Amino acid sequence: MDRIIKPSAAPVRTRGGIMDFSVPRVMGIINVTPDSFYASSRTVDAAAVSARVAGMVAAGVDILDVGGYSTRPAGYSTRPGAPDVSADEEYARLARGLEAIRRDYPDIPVSVDTFRAGVARRCVEDWNADIINDIGGGTLDPEMWDTVADLGVAYVLMHIKGTPQTMHSHTDYDDVAADVLSDLARKAAELHARGVADVILDPGFGFAKTVEQNYRLLSALPLFRRLGMPVLAGLSHKTMIWKPLGITPAESTVPTVALDAMALQLGADVLRVHEVEPAVQTVKLFRLLRDNSV
């Protein structure tokens, strides 16, 4: 059954040791924001963070991804775009979440979702973050790559064109899969040359892509696996799910699980999700299929 992609991604280092991808990993989203696009994911205070994290840990999460800056664009659903926030405010939000996490779970791998090098540095140095998840892929802060190299942490390299505020006017590609693959391959090579050893690739679903382009990109995941680095699929509750189905983000949990299962079969190594329990269950069933395939 060669349609199922077998494990081949390089491991990455965290403070706790080596994380391999012989089993796909589940990354749980912790939004310490008042305005993230999926309202159920918002945790605006330490108590809410602690409760959400406890539930994710009990469900079997592998990585916690903490964000303090909403990237919801203008025109999303019926709400305006999320406002810009200062670096200090972003860090204050992240610190609130990270403090709650590290108090209760000092050893769990933590990713910080930020495109700002200064914020990334503070989160690593103050709270022992393991991974920097940069939606800008180095394009929104020219200091980010050197900062990550200096810190010696793993890095999620995501594809985007434009900014969170302008990205939906930047959807012109010759071939979206080929263009994104080429962009990430070039940037990963430059990161490695700068000394960033542990790179996770994120094609950037929903960032400067139309609904149709997102599905073209998803179908091309096996091509990204050829680069030898772990591939992250961040599909949870995104427009590519709820818009064609004529539903709301809040109603898209079940189709998110369906699309995550497809991503696993196409080679995703990390599922970035809002609901951890169904993702963990999906990974377990996928492993049964993969390990017993003919």
Check: CB of residue 230 under 8 Å from CB of residue 12.
yes
Q: Which of 121, 194, 272, 290 is catalytic?
A: 272
Distance (Å, whole) CA 236 – CA 37: 11
Q: Which of 15, 93, 238, 284 is catalytic?
A: 238
Placement of tokens 């079940």 in the chain: 254
Placement of tokens 């409760």 in the chain: 51
25 in active site: no
Residue 197: count of CB within 10 angstroms of its CB: 14
Residue 123: count of CB within 10 angstroms of its CB: 28
238 in active site: yes
- Among 82, 94, 80, residue whose Cα is nearest residue 163: 82
The alpha helices in 75-143, defined as continuous H runs, are 87-104, 117-127
By annotation, the residues acting in catalysis are: 238, 272
